[in-house]
């Protein structure tokens, strides 16, 4: 089992030493709002264990991760009133396996894939409200 990495921002979030707005948490996975969102509701979904790439995970764990990310994506669809939620496992920004879940809108200015130069300025209070709505929606809907 990979050990937590001391120099990993996402491991810090798992440890609770770098507070973020949490939208989903269970024993093995964590979803939180990205502090530099490409769109409102941009969520990072990660395994709590440190893996460099999603492709380093056991295949069953990766399957579970996507099953659980689906719950978050479904909630994002409802909360942000869009069917278009992309999932991207890029992985260059932070060296800890993650799935970006980004609600998309016809007029959001991104291309087919998000433009990393387009970031949204969202006040902390609004981020907290987004997280609250997403958590409620996840709790409200069956697995």
> Counting contacts by CB under 5 A, is residue 18 touching Zn ion?
no
What residues have CB less than 8 Å from 128, skipping those under 6 apart?
Answer: 21
DSSP state letter for 89: -
Least distance (Å) between residue 69 CB and Zn ion: 17
Stretch that binds Zn ion, among 34-42, 50-58, 76-84, 114-122 (CB under 5 A): 50-58
Q: Judged by CB under 5 A, does residue 5 bind Zn ion?
A: yes
Angle 83-86-92 (CA atoms, 0-180°, nearest 5)?
Answer: 165
- Choose the binding region for Zn ion from 1-9, 20-28, 72-80, 97-105 (rule: CB under 5 A): 1-9
For position 10 contacting Zn ion by CB under 5 A, the verdict is yes
Q: For Zn ion, which is the closer residue by CB, 9 or 119? A: 9
User: Minimum distance from CB of 45 to Zn ion (Å)?
Assistant: 14
| Interaction of residue 50 with Zn ion, rule CB under 5 A | yes
Quickly tell me which residue has 């996975």 as its tokens: 29
Phi-psi region of 61 (alpha: psi -120 to 50; beta: other; left: phi over 0): alpha
Task: Choose one: 2-10, 17-25, 102-110, 123-131; the region binding Zn ion (CB under 5 A).
Answer: 2-10
**Binders in 87-116 for Zn ion, by CB under 5 A:** 96
Q: What does the block give as tokens for 25?
A: 């948490």
Cβ pair 64, 99 in contact under 8 A: no
Residue length of the chain: 143
Residue with tokens 């949490």: 22
Q: Which residues bind Zn ion (CB under 5 A)?
A: 5, 8, 10-11, 50, 96
């Amino acid at each position: 089992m990979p050990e937590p990495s001391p120099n990993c921002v996402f491991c810090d979030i798992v440890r609770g030493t770098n507070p973020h707005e949490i939208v989903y948490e269970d024993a093995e996975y964590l979803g939180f709002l990205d502090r530099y969102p490409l769109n409102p509701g941009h969520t990072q979904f990660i395994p709590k264990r440190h893996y460099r790439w999603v492709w380093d995970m056991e295949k069953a764990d990766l399957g579970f991760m996507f099953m659980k990310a689906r719950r978050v994506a479904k909630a994002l669809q409802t909360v942000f009133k869009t069917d278009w939620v992309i999932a991207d496992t890029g992985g260059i920004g932070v060296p800890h396996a993650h799935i970006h879940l980004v609600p998309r809108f016809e007029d959001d200015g991104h291309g087919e894939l998000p433009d990393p130069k387009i970031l949204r300025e969202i006040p902390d209070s609004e981020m907290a409200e987004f997280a609250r709505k997403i958590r409620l929606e996840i709790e409200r809907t069956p697995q």
